[in-house]
């Protein structure tokens, strides 16, 4: 896929006065979903808003080896949002959990994750940017990440942060997860609103819900089978961007 980066660059003299709007395309090929991410950066805050381009509906199907496969996603008109605050070292995000046989939106506070960036010597030009390579292992996935110091901000899309420049491209080593910068405007002023419209839960509660979602759905499926029917479910590799929270 070919990407064209449209540039409207007015460089700020310091990071504290810099306002940026960056548009990314995010793909999760395993789940056959594509989102546009609108990343707004204003001083020491950032907000990523996910807008669906292509998303599969909730589904259950039997694979070639009689494995039962699930695609379970919650959504509404507001969608998933991820707010970062550099000063407070927190992320506040809006996502969905599966409870009582339905998805509902939640607001979750998370301390800044520990991104252990491994800097490499490789460099290349992507679009109009001089980019440097880093590697990252985060929550069950390994990534190659290209960033540019041409745009000096520590923020990136989703939860990513902590590099000395804007992230331009992210690819997981299994090629299933991809983030690609497609447009940027550094002369952009817009207030950032912290995500709301959801029940507030702790990060631990969020992880617990995520870990039991498939189990709860399986029990609901079994309850609808004829009496005496036996179903064997093999849970395969997690297809979410966060495969584990260890």
pLDDT attached to residue 219: 65
- Where does the pLDDT of residue 210 fall: very low under 50, low under 70, confident under 90, or very high at 90 and above? confident
Phi, psi torsion values for 180, nearest 5 degrees = -140, 125
- Where does the pLDDT of residue 70 fall: very low under 50, low under 70, confident under 90, or very high at 90 and above? low
| CB contact at 8 A, 231 and 217 | no
The owner of tokens 């070292």 is: 89
Chain-wide mean pLDDT for the chain?
84
Average pLDDT of span 74-97: 94
Per-residue pLDDT reduced to its tens digit, 217-227: 666 666 666 66
Per-residue pLDDT reduced to its tens digit, 146-205: 999 999 999 999 999 999 999 999 999 999 999 999 999 988 778 899 999 999 999 999
Per-residue pLDDT reduced to its tens digit, 108-126: 999 999 999 999 999 999 9
Q: Which has the closest alpha carbon to 23: 184, 196, 238, 212?
A: 184
pLDDT attached to residue 6: 43
| Residue 4 predicted with pLDDT over 90 | no
pLDDT attached to residue 50: 97
| CB contact at 8 A, 112 and 161 | yes
> Which has the minimum average pLDDT: 24-33, 94-103, 130-139?
94-103
CA distance 215 to 30: 20
Domain coordinates of the chain in residue numbers?
Answer: 6-113+175-223
| CB contact at 8 A, 3 and 182 | yes
Classify residue 43 by its DSSP letter: T
CA pseudo-torsion sign 170, 173, 177, 178: positive
Per-residue pLDDT reduced to its tens digit, 14-36: 344 478 999 999 999 988 899 99
Average pLDDT of span 41-65: 75
| Residue 62 predicted with pLDDT over 50 | no
């Amino acid at each position: 896929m070919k990407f064209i980066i449209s540039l409207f660059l007015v460089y700020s003299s310091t990071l504290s006065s810099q306002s940026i709007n960056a548009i990314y395309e995010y793909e999760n090929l395993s789940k056959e979903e594509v989102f546009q991410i609108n990343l707004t950066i204003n001083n020491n805050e950032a907000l990523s808003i996910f807008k669906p381009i292509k998303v599969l509906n909730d589904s259950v199907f039997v694979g070639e080896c009689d494995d039962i496969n699930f695609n379970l996603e919650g959504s509404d008109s507001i969608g998933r949002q991820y707010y970062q605050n550099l000063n407070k070292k927190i992320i506040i995000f809006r996502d969905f959990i599966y409870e009582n046989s339905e998805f509902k939106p939640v607001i979750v506070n998370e301390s800044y994750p520990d991104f252990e960036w491994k800097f490499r010597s490789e460099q290349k030009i992507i679009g109009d940017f001089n980019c440097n390579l880093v590697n990252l292992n985060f929550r069950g996935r390994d990534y190659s990440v290209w960033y540019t110091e041409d745009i000096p901000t520590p923020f990136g899309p989703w939860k990513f942060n902590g590099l000395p420049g804007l992230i331009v491209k992210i690819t997981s080593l299994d090629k299933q997860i991809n983030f690609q910068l497609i447009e940027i405007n550094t002369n952009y002023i817009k207030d950032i609103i912290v995500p709301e419209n959801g029940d507030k839960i702790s990060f631990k509660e969020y992880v617990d819900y995520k870990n039991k979602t498939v189990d709860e759905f399986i029990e609901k499926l079994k309850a609808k089978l004829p009496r005496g029917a036996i179903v064997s479910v093999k849970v395969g590799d997690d297809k979410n961007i966060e495969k584990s929270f260890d």
